[in-house]
């Protein structure tokens, strides 16, 4: 493990601060689950897409759709709402899926859920 990162007993990676998290190039385990699901669905996306001052987890730039994977540890509802508002004003549609929900899905259920969420774009 690199400085600022540590692995919990359940295998999750945590960071000592947001700065350490932003410096890391590692994806979280829930981002990995979603990336693998999107790949199984043969969807073309950009991971960690830069848009203004933000980094979008999974972006579909042609249709201006941002799929955000919200881990329990980092997300602040007020900050997320401000960020979403800025993106909406620039024409982006933001879809959020939380860690708890991702972890409840089987692989097939996650595929079906993402297919449904992204079917209109």
Quick: pLDDT tens for 21-32: 555 557 889 999
Give the DSSP per-residue string, 83-120: HHHHHHHTT-EEEEEEHHHHHHS-HHHHHHHHHHHHTT
Q: What is the pLDDT of residue 121?
A: 79
Q: What is the pLDDT of residue 26?
A: 72
Residue 89 tokens, joined: 């004003």
3 band by pLDDT with thresholds 50, 70 and 90:
very low
pTM: 0.79
39, pLDDT greater than 80: yes
Quick: pLDDT tens for 57-116: 999 999 999 999 998 877 788 999 999 999 999 999 999 999 999 999 999 999 999 999
Q: What is the pLDDT of residue 112?
A: 98
- Identify the CA nearest to 57 among candidates 78, 77, 83: 83
Question: Domains in the chain, ordered, with CATH?
Answer: 27-118 (3.40.960.10)
């Amino acid at each position: 493990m690199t400085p600022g990162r540590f692995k919990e007993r359940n295998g999750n990676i945590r960071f000592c601060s947001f700065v350490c998290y932003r410096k890391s190039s590692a994806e979280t385990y829930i981002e990995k689950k979603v990336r693998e699901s999107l790949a199984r669905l043969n969807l073309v996306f950009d991971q960690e897409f830069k848009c203004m001052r933000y980094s979008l987890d999974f972006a579909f730039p042609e249709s201006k759709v941002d799929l955000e994977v919200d881990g329990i540890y980092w997300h602040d509802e007020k900050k997320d709402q401000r960020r979403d508002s800025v993106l909406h004003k620039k024409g982006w549609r933001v879809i959020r899926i939380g860690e708890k929900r991702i972890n409840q899905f089987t692989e097939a259920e996650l595929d079906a859920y993402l297919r449904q969420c992204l079917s209109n774009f």
